[in-house]
């Protein structure tokens, strides 16, 4: 099936592309500026004692884990989302669990064939619909209802939530990662390295080592996986986290 468009239709599509590109870039940039300004505003409006060195160190430790994703995720999602969708997706997040499924449902609802203009429009409209639900649920259910729930909770419960939220997230996420990535060898290596670094190396070395314990786990695991990687086992699923 080959669809042909008239010159008038091409002009309309060009207008759509122009508007979504310009406004997509602008809104993503503004979102980036406000979100990034927040911690700096906290820093300059309170008397908290945090140095630039501490911030840079913390950021480097985090980037050691996610640095590859900053580049790989935009490249991976581009063929799925197109230019307009990229500026929506990387502002809103929740790409794989919320936005892409919404776009697919919408395309099948109106019977738009993949790769057509209609499919691109349907995806944009669907992601916009998803964005409205996303923002509304956060504002009403987390911002208003959630804040109220936390305020009436007895301190004994919020205290437990604060102290034990981390292990309660990590146990589940670890299992989810293992099940999703299906990389038996990398899983075994990463757990072995973690046990070795956290339980054996860190307690017996200066405090500096413990500051970078996660970065050390990451570098060691990636190095071992990379150098033991055979040419034939490269059918792994690519890892995406957004």
Partner 1 sequence: MNLSQSTTSQISAVANSPLLWILAVAVLGVVLLQSYVYMRAVRANAAGADMTQREVFQAFRAGGVAAIGPSLAVVLVAIALLPLFGTPPILVRIGLIGSAATETASASIAAGTVGANLGDASYTPDVFLIALMAMSLSGACWMISTLILTPILARGESALAHVNPALMAIIPAGALLAAFAGLTVNELPKSTIHILATVVSAVIMAICLWVARRLNQAWLREWALGFSIVGGLIAAYIATN
| Touching partner 1, residues 165-184 (CB under 8 A) | 165-179, 181, 183
Cα dihedral sign for 179, 183, 186, 192?
positive
Binding pattern for the stretch 41-80 against partner 1, x by CB under 8 A and - elsewhere: xxx-xx-xxx---xx-xxx-xxxxxxxxxxxxxxxx-xx-
Q: For the residues of 109-163, what is the DSSP string, one character each?
A: HTTPPTTSHHHHHHHHHHHHHHHHHHHHIIIIIIIIIIHHHHHHS-HHHHHHHHH
Question: Are residues 69 and 217 in contact, defined by beta-carbon separation less than 8 angstroms?
Answer: no
SS3 26: helix
**b/e burial code for range 204-232 (CB count within 10 A of at least 16 → b):** eeeeeeeebbbebbbebbbebbeeeeeee
Which residue in 162, 201, 204, 206 binds partner 1 (CB under 8 A)?
A: 162
How many residues touch partner 1 (CB under 8 A)?
168
Segment 73 to 112, residues that bind partner 1, using CB under 8 A: 73-76, 78-79, 83-84, 86-88, 90-94, 97-99, 101-103, 105-107, 109-110, 112
Gyration radius (Cα) of the chain, Å: 23
Angular region, 132: left φ>0, alpha ψ -120 to 50, beta rest: alpha
Q: Is 19 in the site for partner 1 (CB under 8 A)?
A: yes
Q: Whole-number minimum distance, CB 52 to partner 1, in Å?
A: 10
Cα of 94 vs its chain's centroid, Å:
7
Binding residue (CB under 8 A) for partner 1 from 113, 115, 147, 206: 147
Please state the closest distance from residue 51 (CB atom) to partner 1, in A: 10
Return the residues of window 195-214 that contact partner 1 according to CB under 8 A: 195, 197-199, 207, 210-214
Q: How far is the CB of 56 from partner 1 (least distance, A)?
A: 9
Residues 105-144 that bind partner 1 (CB under 8 A): 105-107, 109-110, 112, 116-118, 120-122, 124-135, 137-139, 141-143
When asked if residue 226 is in the footprint of partner 1 (CB under 8 A), the reply is: yes
User: Does 163 help bind partner 1 (rule: CB under 8 A)?
Assistant: yes
């Amino acid at each position: 099936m080959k669809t042909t468009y008239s010159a008038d239709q091409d002009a309309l599509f060009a207008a759509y592309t122009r508007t979504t590109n310009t406004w997509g870039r602008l809104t993503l940039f503004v979102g980036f500026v406000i979100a990034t300004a927040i911690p700096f505003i906290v820093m300059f409006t309170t008397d908290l004692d945090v140095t630039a060195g501490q911030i840079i160190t913390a950021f480097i430790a985090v980037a050691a884990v996610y640095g590859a994703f900053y580049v790989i995720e935009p490249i991976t999602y581009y063929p799925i989302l197109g230019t307009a969708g990229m500026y929506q997706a990387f502002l809103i997040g929740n790409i794989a669990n919320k936005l892409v499924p919404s776009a697919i449902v919408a395309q099948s609802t109106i019977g738009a064939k993949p790769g057509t203009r209609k499919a691109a429009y349907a995806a944009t409209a669907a992601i916009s619909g998803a964005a409205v639900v996303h923002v509304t649920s956060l504002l009403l259910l987390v911002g208003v209802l959630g804040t109220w729930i936390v305020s009436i909770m007895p301190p004994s419960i919020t205290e437990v939530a604060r102290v034990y939220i981390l292990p309660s997230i990590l146990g589940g996420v670890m299992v989810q990662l293992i099940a999703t990535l299906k990389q038996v060898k990398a899983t075994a290596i990463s757990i072995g390295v973690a046990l070795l670094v956290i339980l054996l190396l860190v307690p017996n070395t200066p405090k500096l080592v413990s500051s970078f314990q996660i970065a050390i786990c990451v570098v060691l695991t990636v190095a071992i996986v990379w150098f033991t990687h055979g040419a034939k086992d490269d059918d792994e699923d690519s890892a995406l986290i957004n």
